[in-house]
């Protein structure tokens, strides 16, 4: 099928570019590693606080960290697309019969793979520190992360094609990502939050992903929050994909 072939070709191109530039992987992993090594140990003492969810400091902190990695990593992918528009690459590709959806999907698959590799690395490193996860739970977690990557990468690409300028894109992404992050329970669990904050967080889709992630790490795979988190991310990801695919079809500079 043409879309499958085109997507594979596009994925190969961007994967090749990525592999030739290992700096990206290193940058991606160093930041969460710093959180893990320099911050997480502080949580051990708060873990005893009433209202702190059970499971041990790492089982509460790492899922949130993974989601944060997904959010910021995937949101930043638009920068490289803006550069490509400027080089004329997107224009050149749009004149070929390549499917517009593949132009997006090939890139997004690369981004998803990137996040999954970084996440696995992080989980592996956390295991000796006290993190525990069931193998099935790991697969579900990776699936959730893949959906998060797809969602935020698609949004990032759509915004990049709309703005076409790094100076406008950067502040928009970071200003939008921060409240999403703070209101999702990533840094500290929302069970510690006052009622009004929790109410606002209820409309943040990312908060459901964080709840799902925590449930997964606590081996509560049949918990409703897992299904909710995965479903919400899946639906949003598909919507974002459709919107972003259309942007590739429109006059992108």
Partner 1 sequence: MDVVHREQRPLDSVMIETRELRYTYKTRRGPVEAVAGVNLRVDAGDLFGFLGPNGAGKTTTLRMLATLLPPTSGDADVAGCTLRREPQQVRERIGYVGQRGGTDPAITGRGELVFQARLYGATAEAARKRADELLTMLELEDCADRPCGSYSGGQRRRLDIGLGLVHRPPLLFLDEPTTGLDPQSRAHLWDEVRRLRDGGTTVFLTTHYLEEADALCNRLAIIDHGKIVAEGTPDELKRQIAGDAVTLSVAGDPQAALALLAAQPFVRDSSAEQGLLRLYVDRGETAMPAILRLLDGAGLELQTIALTRPSLDDVFLRQTGRSLREQAA
CB of 27 to partner 1, least distance (A): 17
Which residue's CB is nearer to partner 1, number 9 or number 202?
Answer: 9
Instruction: Indicate whether 95 belongs to the interface with partner 1 (CB under 8 A).
Output: yes
Q: In three state form, how does the secondary structure of 24-36 look?
A: HHHHHHHHHHHHH
CB of 130 to partner 1, least distance (A): 41
**Is the Cβ–Cβ distance between 197 and 57 less than 8 Å?**
no
Instruction: Indicate whether 87 belongs to the interface with partner 1 (CB under 8 A).
Output: yes
Among 33, 43, 93, 120, binds partner 1 (CB under 8 A): 93
**Is the Cβ–Cβ distance between 65 and 122 less than 8 Å?**
yes
Which residue's CB is nearer to partner 1, number 87 or number 196?
Answer: 87
> Can you say whether residue 131 is alpha, beta or left, with left for phi > 0 and alpha for psi between -120 and 50 degrees?
beta
Measured at the alpha carbon of residue 118, what is the angle toward residues 136 and 26, in degrees to the nearest 5? 165
CB of 201 to partner 1, least distance (A): 37
Instruction: Indicate whether 92 belongs to the interface with partner 1 (CB under 8 A).
Output: yes
Nearest in space to 212 (alpha carbons), one of 53, 63, 62: 63
CB of 9 to partner 1, least distance (A): 5
Nearest in space to 227 (alpha carbons), one of 144, 169, 104, 130: 144
Interface map 4-23 toward partner 1 (x if CB under 8 A): --x--x---x--xx--xx--
Residue numbers of the site for partner 1 (CB under 8 A)?
6, 9, 13, 16-17, 20-21, 84, 86-89, 91-98, 251
């Amino acid at each position: 099928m043409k879309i499958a072939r085109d997507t594979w070709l596009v994925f190969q191109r961007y994967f090749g570019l990525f592999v030739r530039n290992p700096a990206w992987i290193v940058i991606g992993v160093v930041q969460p590693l710093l959180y893990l090594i320099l911050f997480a140990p502080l949580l051990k003492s708060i873990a005893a606080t009433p209202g702190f969810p059970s499971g041990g400091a790492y089982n509460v902190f790492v899922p949130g960290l993974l989601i944060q990695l997904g959010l910021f990593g995937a949101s930043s992918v638009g920068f490289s697309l803006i550069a490509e528009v400027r080089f004329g690459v997107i224009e050149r590709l749009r004149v070929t019969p390549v499917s517009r959806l593949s132009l997006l999907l090939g890139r997004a698959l690369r981004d998803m793979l990137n996040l999954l590799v970084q996440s696995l690395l992080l989980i592996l490193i956390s295991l000796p520190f006290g993190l525990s996860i069931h193998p099935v739970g790991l697969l579900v977690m990776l699936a959730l992360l893949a959906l998060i990557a797809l969602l935020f990468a698609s949004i990032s690409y759509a915004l990049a094609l709309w703005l076409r300028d790094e100076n406008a894109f950067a502040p928009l992404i970071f200003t939008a990502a921060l409240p999403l992050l703070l209101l999702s329970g990533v840094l500290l669990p929302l069970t510690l939050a006052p009622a009004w904050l929790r109410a606002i967080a209820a409309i943040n889709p990312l908060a459901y992903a964080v709840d799902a992630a925590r449930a997964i790490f606590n081996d509560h795979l049949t918990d409703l929050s897992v299904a909710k988190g995965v479903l919400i991310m899946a639906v949003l990801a598909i919507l974002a994909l459709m919107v972003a695919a259309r942007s590739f079809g429109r006059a992108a500079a």
